[in-house]
Structure 1
Amino acid sequence: MRYLRMTAQDRSGNGRADTVLLRFYEEVPGQPDKLVFKAAAVDVNADGVSDLQFGGDVNRDGRDNAKDEKLIRAFANSFLKLGWFNLGKSWQRYIKVFAENYHRDKTPNIVRLHIHEGTGTPRNQTLIYKASVHDTDNDGTLDSVVYFDLEDETIVSRKEEEWAKFMGRTFLKFKWYS
């Protein structure tokens, strides 16, 4: 299985996330997960919008160009809105994102967002929130969100639902799924 591990950090120490790190992994049976490539975005002035993006060909189209930077920027900016970040260079808070294909038709129909707090390989002991975005009718559009509640109020807000859908749709543009 392939997955993306997103981490936001407050490296400037001003109480706001300024760095978003994207790490693309592939699980290897019997071995530690393999880091395949990295991307990053930096919010220089702490306004919640990334100013610099790095990462190369993240959409896997064979070219390192403005489309890749735009994709990293959109994903990072949405992640920054969540406010789930680490102080300094810590890696304890992160989100694991991965896609599944239950219809077995080569197109993912579920994107899962697992919010973790802890160290090491993502596992159930560090999992604190989950969301999944579904393409319920297999038409290529993620249209339904299941279990997402950042404020722990057991009611999914419209804002949370839209955030999850955006992250799911944007993740699929990386084409980082099995």
Structure 2
Amino acid sequence: MRYLIAIAQDRFENGRTDSVLLEFHEVCDQPPGTVVVSEAVAIDFDADGKVDFQKGDVNHNGKENSIDHRLLAIFANSYMKMNWTNTGVRRNRYMKIFSEDFHGDGSPNVVQLQLYTCPADGAEVKLVSWHGLFDGNNDGTLDCIVNADANHDGVIEQIDSVIVRSLANVFQMFRWKG
């Protein structure tokens, strides 16, 4: 299984997300465990809510280029809107995103976005909320969405589904499935 961990941070502790870190994980059988295969970073230097710098091969084709930068910027800009940010360099809050192909035809039937928190006191990691997109008829299009308050503003509205759909669609372009 492959999955992505996204971590948003407010490193300057000014109330604004300024960096998004991506870790591409793969579960291995021998030895059992999870390996971070690659990483990427997006930074918003001027705190305007838009990424100014990005680094990493997010579509996993072996070369970093403008396509990677654009995909990373779109993903990070959408993730910053979720307001699931850590203060400073902490990593207590993160999103795990993965896809599942129930038909085995190479087309994901489900993309899940799960938000977790890990209290600093060493308590267990806790699933706080999840959002999902489904391809109900296996035509390659995620046509059904289940989401809660994705941007954590206390209201479930259309922008929540826009954020979730954007993250899921870009995640698919990362080609990190399996």
**TM-score normalised by the chain length of structure 2:** 0.90
Task: Name the residue aligned to 2:80.
Answer: 80
1:20 aligns with 2:24: no
Describe how 1:132-171 pairs up with structure 2 within 5 A.
132-150=132-150, 151=152, 156-171=156-171
The Cα offsets for residues 4-39 of structure 1, whole Å up to 9 and x where unpaired, read as 000000011111110000000001246331000000
Task: Name the residue aligned to 1:43.
Answer: 44
* Structure 2 letter corresponding to 1:70: R
CA–CA distance in structure 1, aligned partners of residues 167 and 51 of structure 2: 16
The Cα offsets for residues 25-82 of structure 1, whole Å up to 9 and x where unpaired, read as 0012463310000000000011100000011x22123432100100100000000111
- How many aligned positions are there? 173
User: Could you list the runs of 5+ residues in structure 2 that have no partner in the other structure?
Assistant: none
* Structure 1 letter corresponding to 2:37: V
Secondary structure in 1 matching 2:37 = strand
CA–CA distance in structure 1, aligned partners of residues 119 and 64 of structure 2: 32
User: For the Cα contact (< 8 Å) 1:91–1:119, is it kept in 2?
Assistant: no
User: For the Cα contact (< 8 Å) 2:114–2:129, is it kept in 1?
Assistant: yes
CA–CA distance in structure 1, aligned partners of residues 16 and 44 of structure 2: 10
Shift of 1:115: 0.3
Aligned-residue RMSD, C-alpha: 2.0
Shift of 1:126: 1.4
* Structure 1 letter corresponding to 2:78: S
Task: Name the residue aligned to 2:33.
Answer: 32
CA–CA distance in structure 2, aligned partners of residues 142 and 167 of structure 1: 12
User: For the Cα contact (< 8 Å) 1:132–1:146, is it kept in 2?
Assistant: yes
The Cα offsets for residues 74-126 of structure 1, whole Å up to 9 and x where unpaired, read as 00000011111000000000000000011221111210000000169xxx841
Report which stretch shifted further, 163-172 or 23-32: 23-32
User: For the Cα contact (< 8 Å) 2:147–2:160, is it kept in 1?
Assistant: no
Task: Name the residue aligned to 1:4.
Answer: 4
**TM-score normalised by the chain length of structure 1:** 0.90
* Structure 1 letter corresponding to 2:64: D
User: For the Cα contact (< 8 Å) 1:8–1:80, is it kept in 2?
Assistant: yes
Q: 1:119 to 1:39 in 2, by over 3 A?
A: farther
CA–CA distance in structure 1, aligned partners of residues 40 and 119 of structure 2: 20
User: For the Cα contact (< 8 Å) 1:8–1:94, is it kept in 2?
Assistant: yes
* Structure 2 letter corresponding to 1:32: G
CA–CA distance in structure 1, aligned partners of residues 74 and 102 of structure 2: 27
